Structure 1
Amino acid sequence: MLQDALGRRFYYLRLSITDVCNFRCTYCLPDGYQGKPDQSFLTLPEIRQTLRAFAVLGTEKVRLTGGEPGLRADLPEIIAEAAGTPGIRKVAITSNGYKLPQRIDRWREAGLNQLNLSIDSLDPRQFQAITGHDRLREVLDGMDRALELGVNTKVNAVLMRGLNDQLSEFLAWLKTIPVTLRFIEVMETGDHPTFFREHHMSGETVKERLLNEGWQPVIRTREAGPAQEFWHPDFAGRIGLIMPYSKDFCASCNRLRISSTGKLHLCLFSDHGLDVRQWMQPDVDNTELQNKLVELLRFKAPTHLLHEHNSGGTQNLSIIGG
């Protein structure tokens, strides 16, 4: 079992398979992707080794992230590898929804259980202003198809003061749409401290409104993500709040991250990743990677330092998938 010095257990792996992204979201990559798309991202055999090691150590849920994971041509094979790993019960993807209507059927056939879509506004013009793409209709059509296929679907919306203050519109949408809408507080990163200061707003204000309007907390499962979720008997959908600046946010941490180049990140905002790629090779005994993961976990800090305006080595969220 992966357990740190504070007794936190880690059932959830966020595995980045590329840091390339084709969107230009204002809070992440406003100038577009500036990296090297030809750099050596994890291969399928390396991913297989990683999944096996984490599963043996108790991981039950894997989320494939990026950048945009849909940009990898072998994504269906990666999904199938995760779904076929003994011990992995849930395979999820976080995507911007690019070309989703043409792709979601194959992802589902490969074994996808859960889809998280980034939709920061339900207004097409505002969506384009935030993302740099006029693709809201395409993303929503892909979402509808995912629901038809029985994929557990969640929608991520970054909460930005003055840019998408649309809680009422989102609530009206959730009356009939059976998804979980998760509002995520803007987080300060190395590239965008000014954006954070101008647009951060606390999710506590949203939580207070929800509770006043009869929304009730959902019981958290052990492999669940960081969101506090709420349901209402009059709504088909649910609402989640991801509030990294809230008190004791890190106390329930249950997830670890592997970057697209084979580095273990013990926290989204750690100073740097710990290179474990040499133990991911298919000709290396898998127990060596397992032992290395257990050894490195002792360095996991009790909490991030976002309250001190310290985002560690995270320059933007596409680096290790948020």
Structure 2
Amino acid sequence: MNVLSDRYGRHFPYLRLSIVPACNFRCTYCLPNGYHANPHAAAPLNLAEIARLLRGFAAVGMHKLRITGGEPSVRHDLSDILRTAAGIPGVRKLAMTTNGTLLSRRLGEWMDAGLNAINVSVDSLDRASFARITGHDRLDDILAGIDMALAAGLASVKLNAVLLRDVNDRELPAWLDYLRDRPVGLRFIELMQTGDSLAFFREHHVRAETLETQLQEAGWEALPRAADAGPAREYRHADYAGRIGIIAPYSKDFCAGCNRLRVTATGDLRLCLFGEFGIPLRPLLQDDNQLEDLVRAIGGQLVRKEQTHHLHEGRTGITPHLASTGG
């Protein structure tokens, strides 16, 4: 089976599927005023539509799937979605990105459903800073859930921290203490401009390469990139159980290693997080007999994928905030 390829020689075995646009956090860089539903918006894909979508992507070589939101755990049928995804032939890695608010209560249920990798958003290890960033004083509970995931033997446990100038960009020493004995992957993510965040971006953007230089000077060693890996440049150090990844979307050639496609909660295919258009797949998810048409539609869109995003030019596409597309 051939994985989808584009005209620049990139392959796409990795799908990020948003299952809900809603989120229960009010992160300053994403939804500072909280989530407000659009009464005219279509409902998220239902379980049957999700199953058909995943069978279509698996038919063209998708083997890594990440469930995203909004916050995926606000869907009451999340475990059913995970179980359905885990049962799709060809899906080898089933991951989810979450804010971790239900992690300590639902981890066992999610693992039983087939989840084998998790990313948890933890933008600060300082309780007060975490509350200011997210709007919720839940850090201790979320960290306890992460320790549970490690103890349960989840195959991959990673943490995401968005770098914010004058907010959390001086916390590397605390993070190093955390990583010394915990085999987690920490991802520092450079703040990205979205349609709603220009003023915030200008105030808080800091280049991720600054932190990367600090790591290199402290003896952290760059690792080779796995074929189905995300966009992070990963580092390890002999004195630490954990690893650190740097996601720097404004760096040179960031898009050269792109290997993922995205589908929104309502079934629109997005070729790029910051693309100018979405391709509606939902009409092709209404009947099990539409699989060939779905596969044809997915493959036929790759010619439209651009070589790079246009963030350097201030063009953020149709993404108003990261929760709208799943990040």
- TM-score normalized by the length of structure 2: 0.96
1:213 aligns with 2:218: yes
1:235 partner letter: Y
In 1, the alpha carbon distance for the partners of 2:70 and 2:224 equals 30
Deviation at residue 272 of structure 1 after TM alignment: 2.2
Q: Cα RMSD (Å) of the superposition?
A: 1.1
For residue 16 of structure 2, give the secondary structure of its aligned residue in structure 1: strand
User: How many angstroms does 1:176 deviate by?
Assistant: 1.2
Where does residue 302 of structure 1 map in the other structure? 307
Mapped pair 1:52 → 2:50: no
Measured after TM superposition, the shift of residue 128 of structure 1 is: 0.4
| Aligned counterparts, 1:64-213, within 5 A | 64-151=67-154, 152-165=156-169, 166-213=171-218
Cα distance, 1:70 vs. partner?
A: 0.4
Question: Of 21, 24, 39, which residue of structure 1 is paired with 2:23?
Answer: 21
Quote how far apart the aligned CAs of 1:39 are.
4.2
| Paired letter, 1:24 | R
The structure 1 segments of at least 4 consecutive aligned residues displaced by more than 6 Å after TM superposition are: none
Match of 1:9 in 2: 11
Structure 1: distance between partners of 2:324 and 2:303: 23
3-state SS in 2 of match to 1:77: helix
Contact 1:108 1:149 in 2 (8 A): no
What is the SS of the residue equivalent to 1:182?
strand
Residue 202 of structure 2 aligns to a residue whose secondary structure is helix
Q: Give 1:165-314 correspondences, 5 Å limit.
A: 165=169, 166-314=171-319
Q: CA separation in 2, counterparts of 1:144 and 1:284? A: 44
Tell me the alpha carbon deviations over residues 246-272 of structure 1, each in whole angstroms, 9 at most, x when there is no partner.
Answer: 000000000000000010000000112
Cα separation, 2, equivalents of 1:99 and 1:62: 20
* Per-residue deviation, residues 33-72 of structure 1 (Å, max 9, x unmatched): 0223884100111111111111111111000000000011
Q: Which amino acid in 2 is paired with 1:96? A: N
The 3 A distance-change label for structure 1 pair 87 and 102 is same
Deviations 1:67-123 (A, max 9, x none): 000011111111111111111110000000112111111001111111000000001
- Could you tell me which amino acid in structure 2 is paired with residue 105 of structure 1? G
Query: Is the partner of 1:318 in helix, strand or coil?
Result: helix
Amino acid paired to 1:155:
L
Contact 2:18/2:326 (CA < 8 Å) preserved in 1?
yes
Q: Would you say 1:41 and 2:10 are equivalent positions?
A: no
- Tell me, yes or no, if the aligned pair for 1:11 and 1:61 is still in contact at 8 Å: yes
Number of residues paired by the alignment? Answer: 322
**Structure 2 CA distance, aligned partners of 1:267 and 1:238?**
27
Identity between Structure 1 and Structure 2 (%): 52
The offset of 1:282, in angstroms, is: 2.9
The runs of 5 or more residues in structure 2 that have no matched partner are none
Q: What is the rounded CA distance, in whole Å, between the counterparts of 1:63 and 1:55 in structure 2?
A: 13
Q: Distance in 2 between matches of 1:97 and 1:282?
A: 34
Could you tell me which amino acid in structure 2 is paired with residue 231 of structure 1? R
Q: Which runs of 5+ in 1 are unaligned?
A: none
* Partner SS for 1:209: helix
Structure-2 separation of matches of 1:69 and 1:43: 13
Separation of aligned partners in 1, 2:287 and 2:182 = 43
Q: Which residue of 1 aligns with 2:34?
A: 32
Is the alpha carbon distance of 1:35 and 1:272 closer, same or farther for their aligned partners in structure 2, counting shifts above 3 Å? farther
Give the deviation of 1:207 after TM superposition. Answer: 1.0
2:247 alignment partner AA: I
CA distance in 1: counterparts of 2:92 and 2:34, whole angstroms: 35
Question: Is 2:52–2:288's contact at 8 Å kept on the other side of the alignment?
Answer: no
- CA distance in 1 between counterparts of 2:289 and 2:204 reads 47
**In structure 2, how many angstroms separate the alpha carbons of the residues matched to 1:280 and 1:218?**
40
Q: What code does the residue aligned with 1:122 have?
A: L
1:318 paired residue among 316, 320, 323:
323
In structure 2, distance between residues paired with 1:282 and 1:73: 24
Cα deviations by residue, 1:179-217 (Å, 9 ceiling, x for unpaired): 111000000011010111111111111111111111111
